[in-house]
């Protein structure tokens, strides 16, 4: 679906639900992380890019304090009406919790909406795929609030307030990567982001004669009731153990692999040790991968992607049979440069770099093998890096 078609669809949803026309239509993309997984909350570097899929929102301010919401993706839910300024916790199973959470986060930062609003959304990301549909929605709402209410906080602050909404209102302890990618994406570039300082560099995503192929396991990816929060807690405890012997240590990912070998024995639990080892080694892999890409060494970038998946599978234990099968199928396919799980894990997607002449065969053969082994289809998407959040109509 083109941008124009998505805008028409969300405008129609708005008009059918609320009558009249929206003031504006906004878009915020999902993201895929090329390498640097589960290090964003450990003070490390990540390397995501915004996608051309994401969330569209048709927005109109109201004269009263009501907030009315509708989703073209869940038409059976109809219009949900909420009083502005009332922030009773909502179930995180409802997409409306993310909208209200952003309004709550903005208000807590001094950006208070003086009226309510009508909002219709339409998402083009596959649901529960690990491509950050929730962050896309949060950044979309923040972008609309900034534009419509004159909140001059900027997209970096918008990303931080979206993260706050997810952490403190919805209850998922995500890092900053997802919201930052959606807010700050740039066409044909990935973002080399230092999650500790928020310094970043847009790096040209020059894949030559290759393309990004994202494969959705179609196994639901649910963070709020998964082991995601447990993994984060394990990393925090491991960091505390290491800091006891290195008081000046600012984060897990500030350690080099060599330094980790020297002091890692301070971590007393073997599971926590492996979680910390993943974070330290993934940070090193990410730095090397970006250097390889800048140097035109795409094969080395792919090798590091593969190694990242192995570490996520064995040390961080956030993979699953479906993700492991897709990664293995990629590694065994001629013309696939690299492939790994992406996102929080326990389902969701893999990201692969595939030579253009091999894409058709990879989709056909990996798809058939996956269906035979798992019993249902995977979904394949050939995508590029897109722009960040913006007004589109």
Catalytic residues: 178
Tally of CB atoms within 10 A around 52:
18
Tokens of 364: 């056909």
Give the pairing of strands 66-71 and 117-123: parallel
Q: Side by side, which strands form the sheet with 379-383? A: 336-342, 349-355, 210-216, 379-383
DSSP 247: T
How far apart, in whole angstroms, are the C-alpha atoms of residue 360 and residue 211? 11
The enclosing H or E element of 309 equals helix 298-314
Return the axis-axis angle of helices 154-164 and 96-108, rounded to nearest 10°: 120
Q: Write the CB contacts of 23 (distance below 8 Å, at least 6 apart in sequence).
A: 59, 60, 61, 148
Tokens of 311: 């570490």
Helix, strand and coil percent figures for the chain, each rounded to 5: 45, 20, 35
Reference 191, options 350, 42, 304, 45; nearest CA is 45
By three-state DSSP, how is residue 249 classified?
Answer: coil
Residues 59, 23 contacting (CB under 8 angstroms)? yes
Residues 146, 188 contacting (CB under 8 angstroms)? no
By three-state DSSP, how is residue 200 classified?
Answer: strand
How far apart, in whole angstroms, are the C-alpha atoms of residue 168 and residue 182? 19
Q: Write the CB contacts of 172 (distance below 8 Å, at least 6 apart in sequence).
A: 92, 134, 166, 223, 224, 228, 229
Tokens of 185: 């994406």
How far apart, in whole angstroms, are the C-alpha atoms of residue 156 and residue 146? 12
Residue with tokens 């447990």: 230
Reference 23, options 63, 65, 55; nearest CA is 63
């Amino acid at each position: 679906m083109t941008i124009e078609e998505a805008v028409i669809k969300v405008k129609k949803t708005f008009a059918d639900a609320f009558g009249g026309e929206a003031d504006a239509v906004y878009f915020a993309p999902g993201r895929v992380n090329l390498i640097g997984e589960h290090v964003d909350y450990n003070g490390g570097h990540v390397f995501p890019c915004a996608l051309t899929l994401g969330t569209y929102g048709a927005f109109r301010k109201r004269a009263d304090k009501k907030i009315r919401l509708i989703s073209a993706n869940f038409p059976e839910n109809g219009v949900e009406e909420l009083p502005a300024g009332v922030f009773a916790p909502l179930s995180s199973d409802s997409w409306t919790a993310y909208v209200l959470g952003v309004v709550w986060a903005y208000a807590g930062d001094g950006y208070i909406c003086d009226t309510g609003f009508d909002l219709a959304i339409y998402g083009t990301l596959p649901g529960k795929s690990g491509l950050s549909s929730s962050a896309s929605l949060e950044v979309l709402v923040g972008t609309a609030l900034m534009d419509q209410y004159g909140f001059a906080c900027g997209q970096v602050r918008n990303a931080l307030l979206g993260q706050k909404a997810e952490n403190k209102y919805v209850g998922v302890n995500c890092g900053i990567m997802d919201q930052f990618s959606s807010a700050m994406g740039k066409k044909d570039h990935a973002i080399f982001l230092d999650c500790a300082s928020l310094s970043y560099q847009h790096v040209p995503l020059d894949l030559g004669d290759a393309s990004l192929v994202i494969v959705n396991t179609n196994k639901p990816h649910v963070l709020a009731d998964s082991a995601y929060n447990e993994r984060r807690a394990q990393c925090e405890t491991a960091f505390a153990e290491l800091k006891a012997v290195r008081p000046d240590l600012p984060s897990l990912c500030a350690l080099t692999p060599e330094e980790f070998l020297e002091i890692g024995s301070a971590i007393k639990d073997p599971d926590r040790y492996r979680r910390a080892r993943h974070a330290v080694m993934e940070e090193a892999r990410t730095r090397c991968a970006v250097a390889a890409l800048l140097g035109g060494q795409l094969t080395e970038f792919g090798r590091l992607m593969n190694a990242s998946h192995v570490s996520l599978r064995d040390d961080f234990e956030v993979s699953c049979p479906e993700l492991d099968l897709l990664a293995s199928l990629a590694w065994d396919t001629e013309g696939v440069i690299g492939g790994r799980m992406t996102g929080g894990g326990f389902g969701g997607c893999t990201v692969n770099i595939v030579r253009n002449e091999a894409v058709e065969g990879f989709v056909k053969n990996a798809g058939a093998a996956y269906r035979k082994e798992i019993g249902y289809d995977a979904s394949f998407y050939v995508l590029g890096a897109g722009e960040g959040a913006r007004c589109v109509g």
